[in-house]
Chains A and B, each alone.
Chain A
């Protein structure tokens, strides 16, 4: 194998996204063939669509390869620094992104304390320790940082509450229970730069006088937990946890996967070993939290921002962003677009910039974007000039949320999309509040009926009325936001709902109950692939699809080499007697 002698080090992206794309096999092959060249596992650079990604450090700089196949040939290609398969960041992303929080992600070894320090790590903590705790709180206040978990509460203010508490024990909790489907900002940070998140926590602990730190991380993130634990050991070894005159314990607690445990009071209950259900506030956790001690909870990304603030100063940090929302925000970009992945943009970047320029989505084919995951709302393409910040999104009936952003193409049905999200939330309701427990279930059943072709016009009034009541009559954020996907789609895409209930049509031809399948005979080459592959024998020998038998599974459409089988409006297909 021809190995370029310019290579000094090889970095393979083995965060969860890379592993899912086959990075483990690529890593093995590289290690087998790279001889003495150091091969390093690194985190995610955010370009998930391009995984497996390999960065080759050479004497002339870094050369990157994307979609590296786990073959000898593929590995030989990169070790020879061939010009094939090279990766470069798409122009739009280069132009519009601003990497601050994920600046080191995928560039350094996540479990190397030294490499983190060599790249400016723990500067923030050093600066902090040189200041008085209240000065640190002041810096965070100055920075204008707001909670990145979705609520957007001013972080400095929260720190101030805990700092002001006089108590024998004060608890700091990192909320790493990232539960939104499609959101992976926190996972990526913990996997790629665990020290950065921990540094943020240590600064917070110093500033607030915390005596114990919990990281409540969902058990579905084994790699993140592993990296955090390695990093914690390294911190212990260097006694970085010796703050405020005592040695702080940092405990990683694995959550059992309940979405509601991302809500702070439910999270505390879970940490205490109780059933994870929210409780009424006040008292707020900073007054009475874990085992009734004053407790402060911040999200992973919030902590990830803290070292930057203390390193560069709150004022400098606040130069980025908008009036009410400072700094940058991470988004997990997914859906109908070219470049899904993790992106970091300054607050105030418009949706259009994120979706079209960064995400590379086709403007002709985008209907809306869903922000804030299942608790958020969709924003139609007409409103894409909206700047992304806490307040603008809320005014549109959506939320910033933790940073999930799903692009919805024109070929999607908004009723089905709403049903999909509500399917998630109604299952994840903790079951405590009447409106959330039963109301979301009843809304879900109504949506099932509508997409099943059995909706009636009164269903829309019911959805709207019940949605508003669930918002008003729920204890925690889960219930208060659960109806958002339905209410937002009803607000912006009412015509689609009306088509379902009045004309029993799904314009996007998604809802199976309102769709037939038809084979256009004129283009058919009679290859019989459809007949062979149909699982229910719905295609006749003379190539007519019987919609009485057809289950709308799409198999024939997928196998047809001439693309001559279509989903059509209900009633346009053939039905046997």
Chain B
């Protein structure tokens, strides 16, 4: 051992010339990332993530293998070095084919850990399911009923059949345990926040504030809390008794509600600013959109109409012949409510075709089952009153070029006007934010917040529909959680930094074939998706009873067997992911072919997914040098290089007792099959 002097990141140090630069850096508190270096085996020097720069020669050295020489000046944290490391990581990401997170979890606006709660359900542990769900979704009873199921639209099961009935797990878990389960709450910090608006976003804000030890008072303009859950979504989709159960939990958590308080009316910003440490504005979208046609004052507004019926506890007069104008979920709520109020003739007029309807397909289908008639490519041009009837002049439309939303623009066909008669015309054209004048708004009339922090001004934050425009309950809940965390940071004085997370994806299921799916278990069920259990159609059409029953536990456990479990087994301890996030390396930065080198799940407890392999060679060396079994080797050359057993044989059963390659694999290429 000989002592030499070197300079490392500008610091003079005395180093042992037989040690590598990586070791010396570590001893001096400088962390250098590496993927292929492993103390247990001889060095490979392949990943080049550990590069440092020799300042004098300008050369880049793999620090895992280079020993320093006297007088050497080494840079380990300059921009140039970071750029090299980032590029090495981006190159590895560009050939790394796997899914960090399951597509369902990525698709969920609240990023609920779908795969895990489905897995818990599959095993029959619905309490665990509920706990996982509530990490992200504080309203599982409601969302378990009304969610448009973003997760299911991206579910990989779509490749071979219908998606896993994910939302039904949420509904069952919540129905089973919501009342009895109380999350552990930290002691209150003494800070107090006012939440304005007791809809999904406001409720979520209050919930996550409390889970972080912050007390809140939730104000709402309506007589009862719940917002659109109570006054927009009809009883037959979300029974209000269920909503009351859900809200009772908030009260149990110590969240207080003050109803009949409207911001800018009998509640002022100043009053809130004076009495609270922070204010969350979550007032939603309650202003109806316009039909933009002559005589529209003769129509009733969908959301106002539903609100009126809600206030009358889901009762009202038979509206006679109804025409609902619009194609969204509110339009569906209006037509289906009309059916239930006894209307003999319910019609939905939409200016594009069914394919462009923003409403959920299941809503359209169920409306049709209940007798609703649809007229597509039809738009109102004029509404007038004649005797006791309304006469609506419509025009036929055709689809032109796609507009900004990507949907084809409806264009009126000249001279195609015709008249229809109705007793009641309901406009369900969309909703807008009705912001008090003292809050800053953008050109769409929505509250104008900072995109990352949801910060509006001083100690005022905003989220939900009033920021994003009318959206879904789950999106409102997601927004509520984000501002809750933003407010926590604001109140504790920590800097709010949205964390950089990468997600490698095998791609949308539409781009994948059956053979592209990677199965962890060999017994993934190929049974058809569990069927919904409807109440009799007659009952649906004449009462506001909930349309579907919650599915039974056994059926949902069986449904869970259909889940492919797409996420990576190593997502918690993947070094490639960790360093990529550290160096802001993006999986999208460098594009190109990803070789399909297959996977091997023949071993009962081990999966070898070569598509994820970064060719660091550690497994080959561990098996050879540590275990002395020599079961793995690199095959082929260049970009086609892969690690495999001799002649592609199955790994011996005895590997289950070793697993040394698994514990050293820096990614999830070799892993235990079990996910917990």
Show the binding face of A for B, using Cβ within 8 Å.
258, 260, 275, 277, 279-280, 282, 426-435, 437-442, 445, 465-466, 469, 472-475
Contacts and interface: CB of A to CB of B under 8 A. Distances in A.
27 contacts: A280-B62, A426-B638, A427-B637, A428-B638, A430-B638, A431-B636, A431-B640, A432-B45, A432-B617, A433-B46, A434-B46, A434-B48, A434-B49, A434-B92, A435-B48, A435-B88, A437-B638, A437-B641, A438-B91, A438-B92, A438-B592, A439-B91, A441-B638, A465-B87, A472-B59, A473-B51, A473-B87
Contacts of B189: none
Nearest to B87: A469
Nearest to B595: A441
A280 B59 CA distance: 14
B44 interface: yes
Contact of B638 (A275, A429, A445, A475): A429
B81 to A, nearest CB: 11
Nearest to A278: B45
Contacts of B66: 280
Given A280-B65, A437-B641, A473-B88, 19 more contacts: A258-B637, A426-B638, A427-B637, A427-B638, A429-B639, A430-B641, A433-B48, A434-B49, A435-B91, A437-B638, A438-B95, A438-B639, A439-B91, A440-B638, A442-B592, A445-B592, A465-B87, A473-B51, A473-B60
B45 A437 contact: no
A280 B43 contact: yes
B47 interface: yes
B634 interface: yes
Contacts of A432: 44-46, 615, 617, 641
Interface in B72-94: 84, 87-88, 91-92, 94
B592 A441 contact: yes
Most buried by B among A280, A431, A442, A445: A431
B633 A275 contact: yes
Contact of A431 (B88, B592, B634): B634
B633 A437 contact: no
Prevailing SS type, chain B contact patch: loop
B619 to A, nearest CB: 14
Interface size class of B (residues with CB under 8 A): 35 or more
Contacts of A474: 48
B637 A428 contact: yes
Contacts, number: 94
A7 B49 CA distance: 69
A426 B592 CA distance: 14
Contacts of B47: 434
B14 interface: no
Contacts of A429: 637-639
B637 A473 contact: no
Nearest to B62: A280
B87 A466 contact: yes
A540 to B, nearest CB: 36
Given A441-B592, A441-B593, A431 B641 contact: yes
Nearest to B80: A472
Prevailing SS type, chain A contact patch: helix
B49 A475 contact: no
A439 B47 CA distance: 12
Interface in B582-598: 590, 592-593
List the 10 closest A-B pairs by CB distance, nearest first: A431-B641, A280-B65, A429-B638, A438-B91, A280-B45, A441-B639, A472-B60, A473-B48, A432-B46, A445-B592
A475 B51 CA distance: 11
A429 B84 CA distance: 20
Given A280-B43, A475-B45, A431 B638 contact: yes
Contacts of B94: 438, 442
Given A472-B84, A473-B48, A442 B91 contact: yes
Interface in B612-660: 614-615, 617, 633-634, 636-641
Contacts of A473: 48, 51, 60, 84, 87-88
A181 to B, nearest CB: 16
Interface string B24-50: 000000000000000000011111110
Nearest to A435: B48
Given A280-B62, A473-B84, A475-B45, A434 B91 contact: yes
A177 to B, nearest CB: 15
Nearest to A276: B637
Contacts of B87: 435, 465-466, 469, 473
Nearest to B590: A442
A479 to B, nearest CB: 10
Contacts of B614: 434
